[in-house]
Each structure stands twice: as C-alpha cells, then as structure tokens.
C-alpha cells in the first residue's frame, strides 16, 4: 500500500528528509496550496506568490523525475483549505496507510500534524548544519547561549574559513571592520531580478484575486522561483555584491533598498538554496582573492552562525517561545506599520520598502522598525506577527527568535545580552534618513525633537529595575542620571505625550 509523502511550501529541496525516505515507485507526494497557510497571518502577497510559484515548479520537477505527485491548487473545488485536511482527503483517495513528513518549521503546524487522525512519521529536517541533538549537546550546561561560541563550533564542524584548527586570518570574527556608515555611491545594482514566466503570471493573478487585500504590492514581482534561478541570483551577488557586504552591512540608505545585501534568505528558507552551497560559494570567492576576509567571514557568520543558532534556540526553547513578553509591553501596533502616514522618515521608508519588496535588510528590521517597537513598548506578539506576515523570508523558526528574542528582548535575554535600542544619533550615523525628516535628530526635547531621542530615555527610565545593573548598560544610565531631574522629567513627559498621540491615531 502506498504512503503519502508531505512536501510543504518551504521544503522544496530534492533531498528533504521525507523525499529521501520515500519509495519513488510506490509512494505519492502530496503538495497542497491551502488558504490556511496563506492567511494564518496576513502574509505579504509577494511572499505567497514566491511560495506557490516555487511549489508549482517543484512539483513539475518531481513529476519529470518520475514521482507521482498529488498537487492541490488553491482554487481546486475539492480543496479542504488546510494541510491536514488535504492529507486526510489524499489518504482516502489513494488508500494510503501512512504519511511521512519532514518536521515543519513552526510549532503551529507540528501540533496540527501530530493531532491529526493519521499514521504519521515526522522526520527531522536535516537541511541544516546543526541537528537538534548537536544544538542540545552544545547548549547543555551553559549558563548563557551566546551565538559567538556556537558559531565557532559551526566553523570547526564545517571547516569553513579554517586553517587547520585555527580561524583563517587569525581571527574568528571581523565585525570590527563591518560598521561603516552608508556610502555616497553604491556600485552594486542589487539582486538579480527575474521576469515572471507563465507559471508565475498565473500565480500572480491568483494571489491578486485571493489575497489582494493583504498589506504589500504583488507587482512588480522579480524573485527567483526555482533552483536554477536562485543559484544564478547567488552567483550574481557573490560576483558583484559580496566584496563590500562586510563594510556596509550595517548601513542604511533611503533611496537604496538593498545596498550590498544578498537577498538569498527567501531562497534558503524555502529550499531553493542550501546553506552550505551558499557558504562554499562565498569561501571560494575569498580563496580566489576576489573578496576580503571581513566580507567572507561576515557573510558566513550570518548563515552558519546566526541562522543555525536562531533555529536551535526556537526548538530548544519550545512552543511557548513566540508568545513571550518578558518586558510586559502591551501597546498596540500603530497603523503606520501597515502603511499609514508617519512623520518619522526612517520608519516611513522602512515600511514603504517592506510593502513594495517584502524585504528590508537586517539593520532596518533591527534598528528602525524593531528599535521603534521596543522603545515604544509595543506588544511583542503583535510585532512578531507583523514580521511573520510582511517578509518573504519569514517562517516562525527564524522569525520568532529574531523578533521576540533579538529585537524585542521579550524572551528575557536568552538571545541578546542587552536590548538593541538606540536614539536617533545611531540612525543618523548609519543612514541618510534624517536628512529630510520632519523631526530633527539633533533636537532632544521640545519642538521637532526626534521621537527616537525621547523614547530611548523613556525606555531606559521605565525599565531601570531590569537593566541598570547590566554591565553593558551602566554608561547609559550614568548619562541619564547626569541630566538632572528637570531635564529627565521633560523627556519623560514629552515621550508620554508622543505615545498618547500615537495611541490616539494622530499622525506622529
């Protein structure tokens, strides 16, 4: 009797565990476009197009390679609307006795599959360098789970940028060289863009019709949607963008959405690229003398360090992680996160490009929208749902640790040793947003004061009990205390007034 082999929309790799375990001659691959996955958060239309178009192309490739694929399109009349519903329907149709699945990247779906009336085997997703067992082994007995030490293990494990037992160039981490402010000219034209083919055009029409009310523009659509295109996009970045990736990793520009970033996370996260393939391409460029060590190391650290580490944390911490609220923040997400007007140019530009591209780079996510959300005390659950919805690369295993942990400090300090907060000065140093903003970054209080300046001190003040003894934050508190009672009271009062106006729906 045949078995069903479940392949989800972010498991589009030929060597994904369920396919590796399958019998091509006897088993049936099940792939399903379902309303539930498109709407459990209001995903950006571009993200839905990416996933569905890549699913359709992957199914065609499987069929070409001799697999029997039962594929449900979103508009099929007998579509039950959920992954579990489709498995039950297909089990009945094929008289299948069992289902093999690769573990999903989200507890919501893991639980739904485990609770389903199916004989299910769930295999570990081994498209990562660190298995769950490896991460647990590393985490065991440690007081703090810091990325840097985990990363060194990953370097040793993969041999990437290693000279024997030592790190290439003598240092594990070249971050010190990677904090240059935005350049005047960017000599990288950005990620490779692909003209939609017939498959993509069909999906664009479908998504426009079914999810056109979600935040974000569906067109123009240019993402890669198959393995060949994703590899070309990677090669393009390595050749033209990588050399300066390190230098300008933390920079931001109002009129350049991509700078020297790779735009490969959507492809990595749905299975169109493999993390080691990406890192080897980068290492090869360094070995060939085409890119400096700070670029290659900086990039590889993001992939085998941060990416693997946040996944380890998500599964280590368990199902409640995404719902944590360690700082007790409860304020609702303001409408400007969904595109309503704001006078804060940095926020407005980051949200605008998010709507247009389903993409913002790391520092925009961390130090603009994330920083604002944390300073303003927004409910981390709502913030996390926003990030999960609006970015093409957002799947909970990677999104939740980055948002709830790194950005909102809502996991109580599992990931970050101190909150990522800054006043307007940092934003001004690393970007050109402040030129042309309705607020003045140099103004601390009173008319035109930059809200980041007010809210920064407001945050520190209201969380004094939590952070004043943090060794890395002592200087900030000393500066705050030196300001004197009157100045401090003015800052707190003006920050409160700003938050009140924001809550009332005024344009702030």
Footprint on this chain of ligand FAD (rule: CB under 6 A): 261-265, 268-269, 299, 302-303, 306-307, 310, 361-362, 365-366, 370, 387, 391, 393-394, 398-399, 402-403, 406-407
Spatial distance between the Cα atoms of 145 and 148, rounded to a whole number of angstroms: 9
| Residue closer to ligand FAD (CB basis): 206 or 392 | 392
Binding track, positions 397-436, relative to ligand SF4; x by CB under 6 A: ---------------------------x--xx----xx--
Least gap, CB of 395 to ligand FAD (angstroms): 7
Asked whether position 495 contacts ligand SF4 by CB under 6 A, the answer is no
Q: How many residues bind ligand DLZ (CB under 6 A)?
A: 17
Binding track, positions 438-457, relative to ligand SF4; x by CB under 6 A: -x-x--------xxx-----
Contacts of 391 (CB under 8 A, 6+ apart): 44, 47, 354, 358, 359, 360, 365, 399
The C-alpha angle with vertex 57 and arms to 361 and 399, in degrees rounded to 5, equals 30
Half-sphere exposure of residue 371: CA atoms within 13 angstroms, side-chain side: 26
Contacts of 292 (CB under 8 A, 6+ apart): 243, 246, 286
Candidates 20-28, 36-44, 141-149, 408-416: pick the segment binding ligand DLZ (CB under 6 A): 36-44
CA distances (Å), origin 337, targets 250, 332, 354:
22, 11, 10
Of 392, 388, 394, whose CA–CA distance to 46 is shortest? 392
| Residue closer to ligand DLZ (CB basis): 106 or 247 | 106
Asked whether position 33 contacts ligand DLZ by CB under 6 A, the answer is yes
Whether residue 408 contacts residue 373, with contact meaning beta carbons closer than 8 Å, is answered with: yes
DSSP conformation class of 334: P
Judged by CB under 6 A, the residue of 3, 5, 10, 349 near ligand DLZ is 10
Judged by CB under 6 A, the residue of 32, 53, 130, 192 near ligand DLZ is 32
If residue 417 lies in a helix (H) or strand (E), which one and from where to where? none
| Residue closer to ligand SF4 (CB basis): 80 or 371 | 371
Candidates 263-271, 322-330, 344-352, 386-394: pick the segment binding ligand SF4 (CB under 6 A): 344-352
| Residue 394 contact among ligand DLZ, ligand SF4, ligand FAD, none, beta carbon within 5 to 8 Å by kind | ligand FAD
Neighbours of 364 (CB within 10 A): 25
Whether residue 305 contacts residue 154, with contact meaning beta carbons closer than 8 Å, is answered with: yes
Contacts of 123 (CB under 8 A, 6+ apart): 17, 18, 21, 100, 101, 102, 103
**What is the secondary structure of 137-183 as a DSSP string?**
HHHTT-SS--HHHHHHHHHHHH-TTEETTEEGGG-S--GGG--PPPP
Least gap, CB of 267 to ligand FAD (angstroms): 8
| Residue 399 contact among ligand SF4, ligand FAD, ligand DLZ, none, beta carbon within 5 to 8 Å by kind | ligand FAD
Judged by CB under 6 A, the residue of 12, 13, 106, 236 near ligand DLZ is 106
Q: What residues pair up with 121 in beta bridges, in sequence order?
A: 100
Half-sphere exposure of residue 84: CA atoms within 13 angstroms, side-chain side: 14
Asked whether position 279 contacts ligand DLZ by CB under 6 A, the answer is no
Candidates 267-275, 391-399, 437-445, 460-468: pick the segment binding ligand SF4 (CB under 6 A): 437-445
Least gap, CB of 58 to ligand SF4 (angstroms): 41
| Residue closer to ligand FAD (CB basis): 353 or 432 | 353
Binding track, positions 300-339, relative to ligand SF4; x by CB under 6 A: ----------------------------------------
CA dihedral for 194, 200, 201, 205, sign (positive or negative) = negative
Asked whether position 395 contacts ligand DLZ by CB under 6 A, the answer is yes
Least gap, CB of 435 to ligand SF4 (angstroms): 8
Burial of 391 (C-beta count, 10 Å sphere; 0-12/13-18/19+) = buried
Contacts of 172 (CB under 8 A, 6+ apart): 148, 151, 152, 155
Query: Contact residues for ligand SF4 (CB under 6 A)?
Result: 344-346, 424, 427-428, 433-434, 437, 439, 441, 450-452
Query: Contact residues for ligand DLZ (CB under 6 A)?
Result: 8-10, 32-34, 37-38, 43, 48, 51, 83, 104-106, 109, 395
């Amino acid at each position: 009797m045949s078995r069903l082999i479940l392949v989800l929309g972010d498991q589009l790799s030929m060597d994904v565990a369920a396919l590796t375990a399958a019998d091509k001659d006897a088993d049936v691959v099940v792939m399903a476009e379902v309303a539930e996955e498109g709407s459990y958060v209001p995903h950006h239309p571009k993200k839905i197009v990416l996933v569905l178009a890549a699913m359709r192309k992957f199914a065609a490739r499987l069929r070409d390679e001799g697999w029997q694929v039962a594929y449900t399109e979103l508009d099929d009349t007998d579509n039950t609307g959920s992954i579990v519903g489709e498995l039950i329907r297909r089990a009945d149709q094929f008289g299948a006795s069992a289902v093999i699945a690769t573990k999903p990247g989200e507890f919501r779906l893991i639980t739904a599959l485990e609770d389903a009336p199916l004989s299910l085997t769930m295999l570990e997703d081994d498209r990562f360098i660190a298995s769950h067992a490896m991460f647990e082994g590393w985490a065991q007995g440690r007081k703090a789970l810091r990325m840097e030490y985990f990363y060194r293990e990953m370097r040793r494990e993969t041999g990437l940028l290693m000279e024997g037992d030592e790190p290439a160039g003598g240092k594990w981490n070249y971050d010190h060289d990677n904090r240059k402010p935005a350049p005047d000219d960017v000599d990288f034209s950005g990620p490779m863009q692909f003209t939609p083919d017939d498959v993509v055009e069909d999906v664009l029409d479908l998504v426009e019709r079914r999810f056109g009310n979600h935040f974000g523009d569906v067109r123009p659509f240019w993402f890669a949607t198959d393995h060949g295109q994703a590899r070309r996009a990677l090669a393009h970045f390595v050749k033209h963008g990588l050399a300066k990736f390190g230098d300008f990793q933390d920079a931001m520009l109002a009129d350049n959405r991509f700078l020297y970033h790779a735009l490969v996370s959507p492809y990595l996260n749905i299975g169109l690229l493999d993390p080691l393939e990406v890192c080897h391409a980068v290492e090869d460029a360094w070995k060939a003398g085409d890119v400096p060590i700070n670029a290659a190391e900086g990039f590889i650290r993001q992939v085998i360090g941060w990416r693997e580490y946040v996944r380890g944390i998500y599964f280590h911490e368990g199902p409640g992680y995404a719902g944590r609220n360690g700082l007790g923040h409860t304020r609702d997400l303001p409408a400007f996160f969904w595109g309503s007007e704001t006078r804060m140019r940095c926020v407005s530009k980051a949200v605008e490009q998010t709507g247009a591209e389903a993409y913002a780079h790391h520092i925009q996510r961390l130090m603009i929208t994330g920083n604002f959300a944390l300073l303003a005390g927004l409910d981390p659950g709502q913030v996390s749902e926003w990030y999960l919805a609006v970015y093409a690369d957002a799947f909970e295993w990677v999104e939740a640790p980055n948002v709830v942990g790194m950005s909102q400090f809502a996991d109580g300090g599992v990931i970050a040793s101190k909150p990522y907060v800054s006043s307007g000065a940092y934003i001004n140093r690393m970007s050109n947003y402040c030129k042309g903003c309705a607020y003045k970054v140099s103004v601390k209080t009173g008319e035109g004061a930059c809200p980041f300046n007010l809210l920064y001190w407001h945050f520190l003040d209201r969380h004094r009990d939590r952070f004043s003894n943090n060794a890395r934050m002592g200087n900030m508190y000393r500066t705050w205390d030196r300001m004197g009672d009157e100045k401090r009271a003015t800052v707190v009062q003006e920050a409160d007034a700003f938050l009140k106006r924001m809550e009332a729906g005024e344009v702030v």
